[in-house]
Structure 1
Amino acid sequence: MHTVAVAFWGAFFGTVSLLLVVALIAFSRSARRVAATGSLSALMSGLYVLVFLGWVPVADPEVLMRLQAHMAAVCAAVLGLFLLWTVGELRDPRRAAHANAVMAALLVTVLVAGWALPPTGALALSTGMEAVVVAICLAASFGSALRGAQFGWAALGGLLCMSVTVAGLTRYAFEPEQVDWPLHAATALAAIAYVTTIAGALWMRYSFLIALRDAMKHGPTFDPVTRLRSRVETDAMVGDAFLQAARDRPLGVVVVSIANLMALEQLHGRSAYNHALFICASRLRRLVPPGAELGRLGEDAFLLLLRNPSGGHQMGDLAHLLAQRLARPVSLGTSRDMKELEDRRTEWVADIGVGVLIAMPDMRPPVAVAGARAMSRTAWSYVSRVAWYDETSRQITELPLAAAGAR
């Protein structure tokens, strides 16, 4: 195989690896179904390409071709059901059971019949099954797109890219000497487009469900701007955290306060204020460690609770990370009109203060939260923008980055 072709296929496997990492991140964020289906799609696509390129430890060409026939049939069945499920065709349990049974019967028939044929015939039969499944999925995706689902159009585009990939790899399987590097490059690019498009369709399908789950979980106390617990539910969260904390383990309390939110509202209106709050909350959600609990605190602050913190080193590093990342410049929209939202913008930098407190089990929850919030406001006057309670001097002091690493 030409070096350029190998480079393009290397880019494909790099994309698959990246999608697997994203799936692991989704799993850590409790989006397990998204992670499972996304990783399954990426893995099956990667194995399909590996087998059809012949990058497997099989020396006999006939054995390799039979393996390619089996892989084509299995991938067609699994990925076909996966896509039908993604576009919403298998929501009815009875319909899903019927589709699973039909697909399983088709898969067994193709695999058994393939052994009665020579290797080239078995691969041709499996390719025919791929064509049938792709046609069914194209019709289902097109119907979903016509009903107004954005992920329907994404799935439709992904299937078209997959058709190019299947055609190129099948040609290579039958006539490897006749395939030059430009065809390899086009096939690899189509494969990259397929896996990324299907991943995008999957995320569009489930992002709504994730938001709906959060709204149903928090009910009317769910804050639609920050997509966090509102102030009322944050109070309940604090009480539950202190009740569940072990007697011999402290609770990490971090409060992030924004000094210039009210000034932003006075200068540019409530729309800019909401946009700034939305951006800060989005950045905060991406930065919090797994297992931490996050809520809104007042009009200009956020509360972060860490169970069983490992000590000042972890808390200090997290506080400095929050202070640095949340203070990055952002371009805010100042109009509620969609047409003017991208045009009428103003540059804004959040004036961040972070208060860090390790609350012992005998400390009352309101006292711990009020203390951390007071420290976050004190931190506005510090260069590091991080304040914490120093047990040695028994006073609120600045926590420089070097000191945080040393604790």
Structure 2
Amino acid sequence: MDALAVGFWGAYFGVAAVAFLAAAIPLAQGLPRVALLMAAAPFLNSPYVLAALGGFPGGPDLNLRIQSVTALFNSLALSGLMLLMLRTRGWVWRLWGASVLVVLAVAALSWSLPPRSGMLLATGYATFCTLVALALLFSRRALRHHRLAWLAVASVGSVSLGLVLTAWIAANSPGVPWPAHAVTALVVSAHELCMAFAVWSQFSHLAELRLVRAYGSGYDPVTRMRSLETAGNLINSVFATRGSETVGTIVVTVANLYAFENLHGRAEHNQALFVLATRLRNAVPRGVQMCRLGNDVFLLLLRGETSDRHLLDVALRVHERLSQPLTLGVGERPSEVRVGAHQWVPDFGIGVLAVPPDLNRAAAVNTARGMSRTALAYRSRIARYSAQQGDVLEVALPAAATR
């Protein structure tokens, strides 16, 4: 095989590996069904592709037999997975169950033929099944009005084309030019990406639903944080288990959020809150506990590494992310966000406090909150408490941040 062809197929197996490993994300969030759906496509398709390329030991005939079996099994399994993603009626499942008998008959017939002819028969049947599925997607009762309709079409279409191309490569190997390998690798990679994105788009709300069920009204869906109602429980859980540790406390107060809501309305206020919370979440290290202390106040609690230098580094990263202008629009769809768009710059203050073990939790949070309001009068918008001087000091911004 040409070196360029090896490179393209290596890229495909890299995509398949990433898609397979990405299934660990929903699995860690307690969603095993979603993890199974995400891992199924790369797990099923990779052996088929490897057999089509002659990668199994045992010679060409054995690889053609493996390709025949995997083509039939994958057509059955992937169609079942697609039905699991949708609200499928009972008669459709009964029809799918009947197709299992047809697959077994085709598999028996393909094994009675020579390896090359059996592979072409099995791949031809699998391609026929995908073309039927593609035709059903364009029918009146299909997914035309579903948000994942065109993604399903792209996924099934790439499967059909990929089956044809891989069968042609297996039947004419080793004299296949590298551009054919490149096109085939891109097509099957597109299928892997479409399947992973479709599964996550369909079921990503389940991860948030678990938080809603766990915290109820104590979970804020706009910022995706613990709300004021359960902030006390979060603070108590962090400070109660600190022992002799210092707890890093950072409070962010957004001063102009209330005025922004009065000027532009609730919808734009919610969008601004959503973007601010996302930026805040992306700016802090892993393991930081976050919640809302009010409509315009965010609380960050850090355990472990809570030196003054570390807390100031986190505060500077938060300042850098939140100080960027927000582009807000009136559109209801993501593609319409810039319709009537305008920019808004949040005015915020950051209070930084390393809470020693002997300081009361309520006093610590209130002190940090007061420092964040004091920081609104500072040019840098960051205030910290100096235990050495016993006073609140302004934190100077780096030279690059003041330009």
| Category of TM-score, reference length = shorter chain | 0.7 to 0.9
Partner of 2:193: 196
Partner of 1:405: none
Partner of 1:310: 305
Query: Cα gap change, 1:341/1:70 in structure 2, threshold over 3 Å: closer, same or farther?
Result: closer
Partner of 1:264: 260
Query: Cα gap change, 1:372/1:65 in structure 2, threshold over 3 Å: closer, same or farther?
Result: same
Find the partner of 1:120 among 109, 116, 123.
116
Query: Cα gap change, 1:336/1:24 in structure 2, threshold over 3 Å: closer, same or farther?
Result: closer
Shift of 1:296: 1.9
Q: Does 1:223 pair with 2:230?
A: no
Query: Cα gap change, 1:371/1:127 in structure 2, threshold over 3 Å: closer, same or farther?
Result: same
Partner of 2:68: 69
CA deviations 1:170-203 (Å, max 9, x no partner) are 1111112564444334323322322222222112
Q: Does 1:351 pair with 2:347?
A: yes
Partner of 2:401: none
Distance (Å, rounded) in 2 between the aligned partners of 1:336 and 1:74: 42
Assess if the C-alpha contact under 8 Å between 1:150 and 1:204 holds in 2: no
Unaligned runs of 5+ in 2: 399-403
Assess if the C-alpha contact under 8 Å between 1:257 and 1:353 holds in 2: yes
Assess if the C-alpha contact under 8 Å between 1:251 and 1:358 holds in 2: yes
192-201 or 68-77: which moved more? 68-77
Shift of 1:205: 0.8
Partner of 1:86: 85
Q: Give, as a single letter, the amino acid of the residue that structure 1 aligns with 2:163.
A: V
Find the partner of 1:298 among 290, 294, 301.
294
Query: Cα gap change, 1:11/1:367 in structure 2, threshold over 3 Å: closer, same or farther?
Result: same
269-278 or 353-362: which moved more? 353-362
Secondary structure of 2:204's aligned partner: helix
TM-score by length of 2: 0.79
Q: Does 1:327 pair with 2:323?
A: yes
Equivalences for 1:123-162 in 2 at 5 Å? 123-128=119-124, 130-131=126-127, 133-134=129-130, 137-138=133-134, 145-146=142-143, 148-162=145-159
Partner of 1:58: 57
CA deviations 1:304-350 (Å, max 9, x no partner) are 334x4223255444333222222222211257899985321212233
CA deviations 1:137-180 (Å, max 9, x no partner) are 54775678448432244223211111111110111111125644
Distance (Å, rounded) in 1 between the aligned partners of 2:105 and 2:356: 66
CA deviations 1:192-242 (Å, max 9, x no partner) are 322222222112211333344433333344434323333223233323443
TM-score by length of 1: 0.78
Find the partner of 1:366 among 357, 362, 366.
362
Equivalences for 1:27-46 in 2 at 5 Å? 33-46=33-46
Shift of 1:363: 4.0
Distance (Å, rounded) in 2 between the aligned partners of 1:11 and 1:337: 33
Equivalences for 1:235-246 in 2 at 5 Å? 235-243=232-240, 245-246=241-242
Distance (Å, rounded) in 1 between the aligned partners of 2:395 and 2:33: 41
Distance (Å, rounded) in 1 between the aligned partners of 2:209 and 2:127: 36
293-302 or 8-17: which moved more? 8-17
RMSD between aligned residues = 4.0
Unaligned runs of 5+ in 1: 403-407
Distance (Å, rounded) in 2 between the aligned partners of 1:28 and 1:286: 20
Shift of 1:400: 6.0
Shift of 1:121: 4.1
* Count of equivalent residues: 396
Partner of 1:208: 205
Equivalences for 1:152-191 in 2 at 5 Å? 152-176=149-173, 179-191=176-188
Assess if the C-alpha contact under 8 Å between 1:28 and 1:290 holds in 2: no
140-149 or 349-358: which moved more? 140-149
Partner of 1:48: 48
26-35 or 342-351: which moved more? 26-35
Structure 1 ranges of 4+ moved more than 6 A: 98-113, 335-340
Shift of 1:11: 4.3
Secondary structure of 1:149's aligned partner: coil
Assess if the C-alpha contact under 8 Å between 1:145 and 1:151 holds in 2: no
Distance (Å, rounded) in 1 between the aligned partners of 2:301 and 2:267: 29
CA deviations 1:91-125 (Å, max 9, x no partner) are x8x998x8997788777776676655432244235
Assess if the C-alpha contact under 8 Å between 2:227 and 2:291 holds in 1: yes
Query: Cα gap change, 1:223/1:64 in structure 2, threshold over 3 Å: closer, same or farther?
Result: same
- Calculate percent identity across the aligned residue pairs: 34
Shift of 1:369: 1.9
Q: Give, as a single letter, the amino acid of the residue that structure 2 aligns with 1:324.
A: E
Query: Cα gap change, 1:264/1:162 in structure 2, threshold over 3 Å: closer, same or farther?
Result: same
Assess if the C-alpha contact under 8 Å between 1:15 and 1:192 holds in 2: yes
Distance (Å, rounded) in 1 between the aligned partners of 2:24 and 2:285: 14
Distance (Å, rounded) in 1 between the aligned partners of 2:350 and 2:375: 6
Find the partner of 1:395 among 391, 394, 400.
391
